[in-house]
A and B are shown apart, each in its own frame.
Chain A
Amino acid sequence: MGLKEIQEQFSSALLDKSEAFSLQILPGTFQADQRIQLYRNNFYISLSEVLSGVFPVTHALVGDTFFAQLCKAFIRQHPPAEGSVTHYGADLPDFIACLSQAESTPYLADVARLEWAYAKVNEYWKVEMPFPFEKLALVVPEEWPNILFKLAKNVHLICSDFAVLDIVNGVRNDCLEDVVVAIPQQIIISGAANQEIQCQAVSPPEYAFLEAITRGIALGETSPPPDFEAFLQNMIIKGVIDDFEMLD
């Protein structure tokens, strides 16, 4: 048997227990399938641990048994596509969204989305990026419509039909009973330098504005939310908006 065939059979055996495994392995105290089971366990357990580390609230919401099954199904269908597991789990929220077993918990995919964003912000080193206020002061009022505000690099926006931030906080603080789930929530996750990660809910117009600037839309083309100045200042202080440019 050649190397390629060995590797393909080994892979099939790791992914699927039922796969016929005809690798020729030297006999010893343990049978071939017992030996492969060691590798299979390591594959599923190590990646399940990676996923549990990134999605602790999702894990807590569904419990150990369901989470283990979820991981197993996900890992089988989406094994890592690279040698490093740093980005592993990005597809889990979409996977949950398509899962019939998760139909009774329709908020679960968005909870996972929030957790993924949180993990990404957490891994990111927050470089101090002072907002260029002096440069902004030089912009004359006629030019304001051409301002394009910039979201900081480590900002994520999540729009859900459910109160996912309240759910996540409820699990973290062990007070889930009080949470009204079926309320839409728009959330910003950000991490400014020297600050704890910020997860905050914003109003629909505020969310729409932030979402518009991610698409490169200038101030004049957006509908700024009410009390725009205070909102902008808050977003700058929290490191959500850290720069601007002038579009012509």
Chain B
Amino acid sequence: MEKNQIPAKAVGLGLRAPHYEEVVQNKPKVPWFEVHSENYFDECGLNRHFLREIAPHYPLSFHGVGLSLGSCDELSSHHLKQLKALINEFQPALISEHLSWTGTNGQFFNDLLPLPYTEEALNLFCQKVDCVQTELGQKILIENPTAYLQFAVSHMKEWEFLNQLQARTGCGLLLDLNNIYVNASNHGDSAATYLESINWSAVEEIHLAGFTVNEYEDGAILIDTHGSRVHDEVWALYRQATIQTEAPVLIEWDTDIPDLTVLEEEAAKARQINAAIQQVAAWA
């Protein structure tokens, strides 16, 4: 196996600054790490230094949050250039971005903002993904985001939009099961239908994360804070997903970052589910 390949169904962890020292010193048995690309753009930065220490020992996945592919603005050539330099240096196994936009007219909002699922948005998004894949000379994965509102003009389901995007650009899909659950709960949609309808052959990575519940007078909204353990409902979706795909899975944790041991416990849970499903398959 090549250094930069991620094994099938391998359960990786998000690499975050509080864990650098421990990972450098103890080289924990983690099959792969995912990093947020933008944090490593600065070639003289401390983050880049730690990545140089860690990269020789683990396959990597670069997960972007700032390319703003869904924006009507032009792609930022500066952003793309920095991403390309990072990819050239580290040769990650996977590169991903989000089905969202983060800014317009040169102003950015530090968030993954929702798109209307229209033909116009699909055309624009396909064009941007084509452009990035051509520039990078390789495939990228696109992740399903959370959205706290739905536009009246949308006339496609998100999975329909993603399937068409994939068919037209040849991109891969990164399926975040927590996001599917959060959206389904907030909008009264069916996560099961989503999982039945998505093109599994294009899914190359799975995300698992935790959400929080904001309670209001009128009801509750789930927020994808990525600051807690994976909820049981999302584990249930993972049981269904892992029958469909060999894709590697990531335990994603971005706020209130705990000790590495907590992340490893979550990873062990995912591995147990994989093993159980495999056993069932063997009996069958």
A residues lining the B interface (CB < 8 Å): 1-4, 6-8, 10-11, 14-15, 23-26, 28-30, 32, 34-36, 38-39, 42-43, 46-47, 50, 79-86, 122-125, 127, 153-154
CA of A46 to CA of B227, assembled, Å: 14
List residues of chain A with CB within 8 A of the CB of B74.
none
Question: Does B268 interact with chain A (Cβ within 8 Å)?
Answer: no
- B188 CB contact (under 8 Å) in A28, A42, A125: A28
B151/A83 in contact, CB under 8 A: no
A to B CB contacts below 8 Å, 23 in the list = A1-B153, A3-B115, A3-B124, A6-B151, A8-B105, A11-B107, A14-B109, A24-B152, A25-B151, A25-B152, A26-B149, A28-B188, A34-B218, A43-B109, A47-B110, A79-B103, A80-B107, A80-B109, A83-B65, A83-B68, A84-B41, A86-B41, A125-B48
Given A3-B118, A23-B151, A32-B149; A83-B111 close (CB under 8 Å): no
- B76 CB contact (under 8 Å) in A32, A38, A82: A82
A83/B108 in contact, CB under 8 A: yes
A39/B188 in contact, CB under 8 A: no
A-B pairs with lowest CB-CB distance, top 4: A83-B66, A24-B152, A84-B38, A125-B49
Question: Does B150 interact with chain A (Cβ within 8 Å)?
Answer: yes
B46/A30 in contact, CB under 8 A: no
Given A32-B149, A83-B66; A4-B107 close (CB under 8 Å): no
B110/A85 in contact, CB under 8 A: yes
List residues of chain A with CB within 8 A of the CB of B115.
3
Q: Which residues in window 73-106 of B have CB below 8 A to A?
A: 76, 78-79, 101-106
List residues of chain B with CB within 8 A of the CB of A153.
44
CA of A11 to CA of B48, assembled, Å: 32
List residues of chain A with CB within 8 A of the CB of B102.
83
List residues of chain B with CB within 8 A of the CB of A124.
44-46
CA of A39 to CA of B68, assembled, Å: 16
B residues lining the A interface (CB < 8 Å): 38-39, 41-42, 44-49, 65-68, 71-72, 76, 78-79, 101-111, 113, 115-116, 118, 120-121, 124, 148-153, 187-188, 214, 216, 218-219, 221, 223
B44/A83 in contact, CB under 8 A: no
List residues of chain A with CB within 8 A of the CB of B108.
79-83
List residues of chain A with CB within 8 A of the CB of B120.
2-3
CA of A38 to CA of B113, assembled, Å: 11
A7/B101 in contact, CB under 8 A: yes
List residues of chain B with CB within 8 A of the CB of A26.
149-152, 187
List residues of chain A with CB within 8 A of the CB of B150.
25-26, 28
- B116 CB contact (under 8 Å) in A6, A34, A50: A6
A81/B149 in contact, CB under 8 A: no
- A7 CB contact (under 8 Å) in B39, B45, B46, B71: B71
B46/A80 in contact, CB under 8 A: no
B149/A35 in contact, CB under 8 A: yes
CA of A239 to CA of B153, assembled, Å: 59
CA of A124 to CA of B44, assembled, Å: 6
List residues of chain A with CB within 8 A of the CB of B47.
123
CA of A7 to CA of B116, assembled, Å: 10
Most buried by A among B38, B111, B124: B111
CA of A29 to CA of B223, assembled, Å: 15
List residues of chain A with CB within 8 A of the CB of B219.
29-30
Min distance, Cβ A52 to any Cβ of chain B, angstroms: 14
CA of A30 to CA of B223, assembled, Å: 14
B113/A83 in contact, CB under 8 A: no
Given A6-B151, A25-B149, A36-B149; A123-B42 close (CB under 8 Å): yes
CA of A26 to CA of B115, assembled, Å: 13
B45/A125 in contact, CB under 8 A: yes
A43/B149 in contact, CB under 8 A: no
Given A3-B118, A4-B72, A86-B39; A11-B109 close (CB under 8 Å): yes
Which residue of chain B has the shortest Cβ distance to A83 in the bound complex? Answer: B66
A11/B153 in contact, CB under 8 A: no
B79/A8 in contact, CB under 8 A: no
List residues of chain A with CB within 8 A of the CB of B72.
3-4, 7
CA of A122 to CA of B45, assembled, Å: 9
A39/B45 in contact, CB under 8 A: no
Min distance, Cβ A48 to any Cβ of chain B, angstroms: 11
Min distance, Cβ B279 to any Cβ of chain A, angstroms: 41
Min distance, Cβ A2 to any Cβ of chain B, angstroms: 6
